[in-house]
Amino acid sequence: MNEEVMKARAADEVVIKADGVKYSYRSGERVSRGVEGIDLEIRRGEFVVFLGRNGSGKSTLAKLLNGFLVPDEGIVTALGLDTADEDRIYDVRSKVGMVFQNPDNQMVASVIESDVAFGPENLGVPREEIEERVTEALETVGMSEYRNGSPNKLSGGQKQRVAIASILAMRPEVIILDESTAMLDPKGRREIMETIMKLNREKGMTVILITHYMDEAIEADRIFVMDSGRVTAFGTPAEVFAATEAIAAAGLELPVAGKVSLELKKMGFDVPFAITDEDLAEGVCRS
């Protein structure tokens, strides 16, 4: 981790804060629950995962954090800006970037570099600087060689990396990935996880990942478990998965290592609870 990152973390600066946030979807007479009673703080440089089953409110929460949705009650502050302040909404969105689920649905241009340039163009960034940003963003996600190519020929993982580059080109401080790994094959998912880890660990970017893959969640600094529109558990991965009942109640599963250690415990063996494959192997060998 470089010095800058260390400094940022040490400052413990809160970049996103939700305070008593409530939101419901309304279509005509029908009102359906989004989220209620959300209080959370995310600090600069953190890698946070929102975990929950389909319909748990995790995507709603994500959309509240960059002002796509404005809370019915409560306040969301992103980088010191109230997301309900319509005059500053583009400041929020450019600083809190969001990548979506289907990589095909977020590219607007048929040439990769034009797609990456789209955000900075919209922000009125001078041309020379756009050039610089495009180069840097594509390099960060390892897609420089495809710069002049068409997105149609890329794999899912590659497309999603371009989508991340397109957000990076706006120079955000926080990046939210809303189930951005859900439609990818294992190789694509690995590529995205590697990209996320690089952004977070090397560049000190604050990352919020919404997912229902347990093996992605165990990489996080903190996990928020969502169920029925509320945060039902939060903490480090070790803490969260140790709360096995809360995990089950939220319709989630433990990582395989966790399941195995639980099974062993049931059989009466004194093996420490582990969530990563390595920790389990270590634990078994030591007991």
Task: Give 145 or 286: the residue with its C-beta nearer to other proteins.
Answer: 286
Closest approach, Cβ 2 to other proteins, in A, equals 28
b/e code 178-213 from CB counts within 10 Å (16+ = b): bbbbebbeeebbebbbebbeebbeeebbbbbbbbbb
Q: What character string, x for contact with other proteins (CB under 8 A) and - otherwise, covers 222-261?
A: -----------------------------xxx-xxx-xx-
Can residue 277 be called a binding residue for other proteins (CB under 8 A)? yes
Task: Give 74 or 120: the residue with its C-beta nearer to other proteins.
Answer: 120
Residue 155 CA: distances (Å) to CA of 17, 99, 162, 175: 36, 17, 11, 22
Q: What character string, x for contact with other proteins (CB under 8 A) and - otherwise, covers 84-103?
A: ------x--xx--xxxxxx-
What is the rounded distance in angstroms from the CA atom of residue 168 to the CA atom of residue 181? 17
Number of chain residues interacting with other proteins (CB under 8 A): 79
Closest CA to 167 of 208, 106, 227: 106
Can residue 37 be called a binding residue for other proteins (CB under 8 A)? no
Q: What angle do CA 13, 15, 16 make, to 5 degrees?
A: 135
- By CB under 8 A, the residues from 134 to 163 that bind other proteins are 134, 150-153, 155-156
Can residue 278 be called a binding residue for other proteins (CB under 8 A)? yes
Element containing residue 158 per DSSP (H, E): helix 156-168
84, 109, 238, 243: which one binds other proteins (CB under 8 A): 109
Can residue 28 be called a binding residue for other proteins (CB under 8 A)? no
Can residue 186 be called a binding residue for other proteins (CB under 8 A)? yes
CB-facing half-sphere around the CA of 66: CA atoms within 13 A: 22
Closest approach, Cβ 80 to other proteins, in A, equals 18
Task: Give 25 or 90: the residue with its C-beta nearer to other proteins.
Answer: 90
Q: Is 155 exposed, middle or buried (0-12, 13-18, 19+ CB in 10 A)?
A: middle
